Amino acid sequence: MSNNSAASSIVVAQKAVKQLRLEASVRRIKVSQAAAELKTFCLQNAHKDPLLTGVPSSDNPFRPPKSCVLL
């Protein structure tokens, strides 16, 4: 192994270590708190979610196209 490729492996390893240090230092909250906030968001927005609540046919832009009667 030439010294050059050992040196470049070191550069790669140094970057990996630096990245891991950054990720390890991230501020975290407890899952219970995070989960509670996800749940709250869902419930607060549920009434605005058309796929959840359903949409009356008259308001549904994708309702089956009405057949036309030509008089």
Partner 1 sequence: FSLCLYLISPLVPEMATQEVQLNETLSHLKTESDTLKTKLEEERAKLHDVELHQVAEKVDGLGQFVMKTRRTLKGHGNKVLCMDWCKDKRRIVSSSQDGKVIVWDAFTTNKEHAVTMPCTWVMACAYAPSGCAVACGGLDNKCSVYPLSLDKNENLAAKKKSVAMHTNYLSACSFTNSDMQILTSSGDGTCALWDVESGQLLQSFHGHAADVLCLDLAPSETGNTFVSGGCDKKANVWDMRSGQCIQSFETHESDINSVRYYPSGDAFASGSDDATCRLYDLRADREVAIYSKESIIFGVSSVDFSLSGRLLFGGYNDYTINVWDVLKGTRVSILFGHENRVSTLRVSPDGTAFCSGSWDHTLRV
Least distance from C-beta 14 to partner 1, angstroms? 6
Enumerate binding residues for partner 1 (CB under 8 A). 1, 3, 6-7, 9-10, 13-14, 16-17, 19-24, 26, 28-39, 41-46, 48-52, 55, 60-64
Q: Do 47 and 53 contact (CB within 8 A), yes or no? A: yes
Smallest distance from partner 1 to CB 68, Å: 14
Q: Is the dihedral of CA 30, 36, 39, 44 positive or negative?
A: negative
Other CB atoms closer than 10 Å to residue 62's CB: what's the count? Answer: 6
Q: Measured from the CB of residue 71, what is the shortest distance to partner 1 in angstroms?
A: 23
Which residue bears the tokens 């009667």? 69
